[in-house]
Each structure stands twice: as structure tokens, then as C-alpha cells.
Amino acid sequence: LHIYDLNQDTPTFVETRVLPKPGGGDARWQNLARAIKDCHTILVSGVGQTPKKVLGTMGFTIHEVNGMIDLVLMAIKKGESLNHLIVRAQTACGECRGTGTGCM
């Protein structure tokens, strides 16, 4: 898990932290929350409903995004929209009846 500081002119890598091992249910995500208690935003390329719920109720903002980390961090720092970076479900053409994002 990479930790970045957004309080500098440009986002700065601070350190790598170890994630709790898989298993353990909600306790795993509570342990993660304790390990990153000095953070407020979590960037992921995918997240399940349990960690999203547990970490969300503990005050973390979770963004499920794709893209270059530097661009994502600068967008967050500047308060810009992340809509163009949001992870979208892949579907077969014509299957979804239109999401407005085109076939992916």
C-alpha cells in the first residue's frame, strides 16, 4: 500500500505500508483502517462491498479509479472530477442498453 502526501506542491510518495493478510472478515478492514489512520482517501482499481462499507463507515473516502497515479493524485489535490477515471464494468456491446460511456 503506497502512501502519498498531498500537502506539498506536487503529490509526494511517503512510504509503503503492509496490508493485513487476507481473511478475518471485517477485522481485516478495521486493522487496515488503524494502519492508515493518518490518511483520508483510498485509491483502488477494485473493491468489494465489505471493505467499501467498513472503511467508508470509518470515515475513509474510497475512489475506484484507473489511471496514472500522478494524474489521479493531482486531480484530488486540485478538487477536480475523477469521473473520467472511474472504473466501469465491462459489458458486451448492446448488453447494457447504454451507460453513456461507450462500449468498453
What is the DSSP-derived secondary structure letter of residue 42?
E
Domain boundaries, the chain: 2-85
pLDDT of residue 28: 94
pLDDT of residue 51: 93
pLDDT of residue 96: 57
How far is 82 from 71, CA to CA, in rounded Å?
Answer: 10
Interhelix angle 26-35/49-57, rounded to 10 degrees, is: 50
pLDDT of residue 87: 85
C-alpha distance across the termini of the chain, in Å:
28
Each residue's pLDDT expressed in tens, for the chain with a length of 104 residues: 999 999 999 999 999 999 999 988 999 999 999 999 999 999 999 999 999 999 999 999 999 999 999 999 999 999 999 998 988 766 566 555 555 555 55
Cell of 39: 490518511
Could you tell me which residues are beta bridge partners of residue 15?
3
Reported pTM: 0.78
Nearest in space to 47 (alpha carbons), one of 75, 66, 70, 31: 66
